[in-house]
Amino acid sequence: MKKYICFRFDIDTHICLREGVPNLLKLFEAYDARGTFFVSMGRSFDRSLFLREKIKAQFSGKKTANGTFSMFSKLGAANSATALLLNPRIGAVHKTILHDIIAHGHELGLHGGKNHALWEKNAKNWSEQKILQEIDYGLGHFRQQQLPAPVSFASPCWQSPIGIEKLLKQRGFSILADEYSATHQPNKEVSGFIHFPTNVIGKHGNVGFVENLRALGYSSEEILSEFKRQLDTEGNYKMVFDHPFYIGIKELEILSQMIEISLSKGYTIESLQNISRHI
Ligand SMILES: [Zn+2]
């Protein structure tokens, strides 16, 4: 098998989509490379008190405990205020950019349901019926916007409810990308459904690779050398992820170097959907 790498981008906020994604499309076009974008169609935040407390932390320090930059330091005051106060819907109201992603040859997968924060907090306790309603909300917007039906799914914050594979298959999905582990390779069920792990990871596997290492104080050289080291580990399939509003705005230079390193090491840069045809 050829060697494949997927650059995966999770679109969690309207800034990701409006400001990060267009930069990423341009960059990938320059290398004739394709990736997978997981889009949240609904809203980022929930206004319940519990989550508001959590969000307060995003306004305080520059870095959070788990090795991410706070939203405030990534987005600035105006964008953070928009995100929190208006809490706009994400994919549901940005048809043109979503069509641009497809027009550039990338894959558009679905990232959760109506609300990213509520999925993160509650999805593991939801009934099958509730999970289907959430997935159907996302699929409804794909249909309304006349986008190709997605085959790849990723749960917000990796919070994958037990048994979601069965529900995803009912809705035409064939790929789930909810694991992170440096040693995992894709795992294909007898049914053909494939679990794709994110396996090029920072110190906190559930955080974006570049964002995590940068927040931990790595220099560009150190980030790239860690990336190279992980590309040389066993297995013909790699996946690395970040968020468009971080890497697509603040770290385009290092991303272009990661693309060049991948190519120089013989990797084909592809979407999960295209890679799945070779597994
Ligand atoms: Zn997310």
Three-class SS of the chain: CCEEEEEEEEECCHHHHHHHHHHHHHHHHHCCCCCEEEECCCECCCCCHHHHHHHHHHHHCCECCCCCECHHHHHHHHHHHHHHHHCCCCHHHCHHHHHHHHHCCCEEEEECCCEHHHHHHHHHHCCHHHHHHHHHHHHHHHHHCCCCCCCEEECHHHCCCCCHHHHHHHCCCCEEEEEECCCCCCEECCCCCEEEEECECCCCCCCCHHHHHHHCCCCHHHHHHHHHHHHCCCCCEEEEEECHHHHHHHCHHHHHHHHHHHHHCCEEECCHHHHHCCC
- Position 81 scores a pLDDT of 74
Ligand 1 center–CA 226 separation, angstroms: 24
Specify the higher pLDDT residue, 139 or 81: 139
pLDDT (mean) for 195-199: 98
Between the CA of 206 and the centroid of ligand 1 the distance, in Å, is: 10
Give the count of beta carbons closer than 10 Å to the beta carbon of residue 57: 13
CB 90 within 8 A of CB 39: yes
CA of 1 to the centre of ligand 1 (A): 30
| Structure tokens belonging to residue 199 | 């396996």
Measured in angstroms, how far is the CA atom of residue 111 from the centroid of ligand 1?
A: 7
Q: How far is the CA of 185 from the centre of ligand 1 (A)?
A: 21
Phi/psi of residue 5, nearest 5 degrees: -130, 135
pLDDT for the residue numbered 14: 85
pLDDT at 49: 45
Domain encompassing residue 7? 3-276
pLDDT tens profile 3-38: 999 999 999 988 889 999 999 999 999 999 999 999
Confidence of residue 171 (pLDDT cuts 50, 70, 90): very high
The closest of 184, 179, 177, 227 to 202, measured between CA atoms, is: 227
Q: What angle do CA 155, 250, 31 make, to 5 degrees?
A: 80
Residue 208 pLDDT > 70: yes
| CATH number reported for the structural domain that contains residue 20 in this entry | 3.20.20.370
Average pLDDT score over residue span 97-106 = 98
- Rg of the chain over all Cα atoms, to the nearest angstrom: 18
pLDDT (0 to 100) of residue 78 = 76
Q: Is 112 left (phi over 0), alpha (psi -120 to 50) or beta?
A: left
- Region 121-145 average pLDDT: 97
Please report which confidence band the pLDDT of residue 54 belongs to, taking 50, 70 and 90 as the band edges: low
Ligand 1 center–CA 156 separation, angstroms: 4
Cα–Cα nearest to 8, from 176, 136, 166: 176
How far is the centre of ligand 1, averaged over its atoms, from the C-alpha of 158 (Å)? 8
Exposure on the CB side of residue 217, measured as CA atoms within 13 A: 0
Q: Which residues pair with 154 in a beta bridge?
A: 111
Model pLDDT, residue 193: 97
C-alpha 169 to ligand 1 mean position (Å): 21
Burial of residue 63 (CB within 10 Å: 0-12, 13-18, 19+) is middle
Span from the CA of 12 to the centroid of ligand 1 (angstroms):
5
Residue 42, pLDDT above cutoff 70: yes
Q: Residue 45's pLDDT band (boundaries 50, 70, 90)?
A: confident
Say how many Å lie between the CA of residue 10 and the centre of ligand 1: 5
Per the model's pLDDT, the better-predicted residue between 207 and 57 turns out to be 207
The predicted model gives 213-224 an average pLDDT of 96
Q: Which two tokens stand for residue 277?
A: 């045809």
Q: What domain count does the chain have?
A: 1
φ/ψ region of 89 (left if φ > 0, alpha if ψ in -120 to 50, else beta) reads beta
